[in-house]
Structures are given as structure tokens and as C-alpha cells.
Amino acid sequence: MIDSDTLASRGFVVAPGLIDPAECRALAGLWPEKPRFRSHVVMQRHGFGQGEYQYFAYPLPERIEALRQALYPELAAVANRWNAELGVAKRYPPTLQGWLKQCHAGGQKRPTPLLLHYRAGDYNCLHRDLYGELVFPLQATVLLSDPAKDFSGGEFMLVEQRPRMQSRGEVVPLNQGDAVIFAVNERPVKGSRGFYRTAMKHGVSSLHQGERFTLGIIFHDAA
């Protein structure tokens, strides 16, 4: 399902067509169903950008629960490879259930999958999705809208800060249903004397027109 080697070596990868267009529309269509969500954030109130998002409540919609469970094992393998490269002892359990048990025992119990909604002029500032001490180092964002029909602008962006070097930016082009899988916070990069850490942030450039929905799948729960 995922090109793990590309993900491990570049810090991000696109999984094309992870969700089909009808399902994308159905997931975006959950936006007005208030009881499905535990909280609603207006980004401009917090200086996060402009636009809105909502965190799903448990139990997650079936499709999202299934996707979170299905993606986790491959990503945990990459996360464990990264920790080995960085000389970090922590290893992530092989299943999402095992990992969430650790989160919940550590007081991080609130679900983090979210639906984001942008209109013309909206944007998402470069950020990291950290919600406590416990961090799963990879996350996925699925583009639910169709850039050929629904909106223009609104590009998914990644910026990597390398130690003592200038930041490098990447725009990740996505079609409807594509997922971008990327480092939440940090990742190892191979240098001449072993691996070093770089810091990653992600965001979305301004929407020029239309409406854009995305689904964010984060694997650590929130405090």
C-alpha cells in the first residue's frame, strides 16, 4: 500500500488513490454532522491560519477506524527503523491497538483524526501535530476534494529544517483520494558521519477559489 523505502529516505510519500471519489465525498459530507465530532476549531482564533477543522469523537466512523488500523503497521516499521537509525531505544508496537493502549495509559485518550475545511483565502500555517509526550512520528492526510473541479491553490506543503542549514520546502501535488504520509516532527537523514535529525513541519498554501476538504489521520491520541 505504501512505498516504505521512499517514505523512510525522504520523510514523505504519496499513496495515490487511497480512497475512491465516492468515499471521499461521503467523508467530506460528514462535516455538518455535529455529533460525530468532539471539538471544532476556528483556525484564525488561535493564529493557526484561516479555515476550520473538527476532531472526530470515538467511536470513529468505520472507514476512518479501518484506515487508521490498516496504515499503522507499515508506518510503525518505518518509525522503528528511524529510531534504530537515531539510536533511540523506543520501539512502537506492531498494532494500533497496542500503541493506543500506551497512549491511553499515559493520559492521552482523546481521538485525533480530523476533518479540515478551507474556503477561498483560507490557509494552514506550518505546524506540527503534537498532543502530549507520546508521539507517533508519521501521519497521513487524504485530499477529499478534487483539485480539477472543486478548488485551486491550497497546496500541501512540507518544510524541513536541517541543523545549521537553510530550510527546504516541498509542495506535494495531490489528486482526489491521494494520501500524503509524512513525518510529524523529526526524521533521520543520512550524513557522512551517520544519521542526524531534521525537523519537519507541514501546512497548506492559500486557497484561490472553491472549497477543499481533507482528512487528517494522526496516530497518537491527545492529552
Ligand X SMILES: O=C(O)CCC(=O)C(=O)O
Residues that bind Fe ion (CB under 5 A): 129
Residues of the chain by 3-state class (helix, strand, coil), percent to 5: 25, 35, 40
Query: What is the contact mask toward ligand X in residues 105 to 134, using x (rule: CB under 6 A)?
Result: -----------x-------x----x-----
CB 80 within 8 A of CB 91: yes
Contact between 177 and ligand X per CB under 6 A = no
SS3 169: strand
3 Cβ contact partners less than 8 Å away, ≥ 6 residues apart: 13, 15
CB 41 within 8 A of CB 205: no
Residue number, 185 or 195, with CB nearest to Fe ion? 185
Contact between 14 and ligand X per CB under 6 A = no
Q: How far is the CB of 48 from Fe ion (least distance, A)?
A: 9
Q: How far is the CB of 143 from ligand X (least distance, A)?
A: 7
Q: Which of residues 147-176 bind ligand X (CB under 6 A)?
A: 156
- 87, with CB counted inside 10 A (0-12, 13-18, 19+), is exposed
Query: What is the contact mask toward ligand X in residues 39 to 78, using x (rule: CB under 6 A)?
Result: ----------------------------------------
Among 141, 145, 182, 183, binds ligand X (CB under 6 A): 141
45-71 b/e (C-beta count within 10 Å ≥ 16 → b): eeebbbbbbbbbbeebbeebbebbeeb
Residue 113 partner contact from Fe ion, ligand X, none using kind-dependent CB cut-offs of 5 to 8 Å: none
Interacting residues with ligand X (CB under 6 A): 116, 124, 129, 141, 156, 202, 204, 214, 216
